[in-house]
Amino acid sequence: MPLVKVAELSALPPGTLMEALVGEDSYAICNLNGAIHALDGICPHAGGPLGQGELRGAHIVCPWHAWEWNCQTGVNTDDEDQAVHTIPVKIDGNDIFLDLP
Whole-number Cα distances in Å, 3 to 33, 38, 88, 92: 23, 13, 9, 11
Q: How confident is the model at residue 1 (pLDDT cuts 50, 70, 90)?
A: low
| pLDDT of the residue at 22 | 96
Fold topology of 3-99: Rieske Iron-sulfur Protein (2.102.10)
pLDDT, one tens digit per residue, over 42-100 is 999 999 999 999 999 999 999 999 999 999 999 999 999 999 999 999 999 999 999 99
Would you give the distance in Å from CA 96 to the centre of its chain?
12
Distance CA(97)–CA(57), nearest Å, equals 23
Q: Is 61 exposed, middle or buried (0-12, 13-18, 19+ CB in 10 A)?
A: buried
Q: Are 35 and 91 in contact (CB under 8 A)?
A: no
Whole-number Cα distances in Å, 61 to 36, 49, 64: 17, 10, 9
Say which amino acid occupies 10. Answer: S
| pLDDT of the residue at 101 | 83
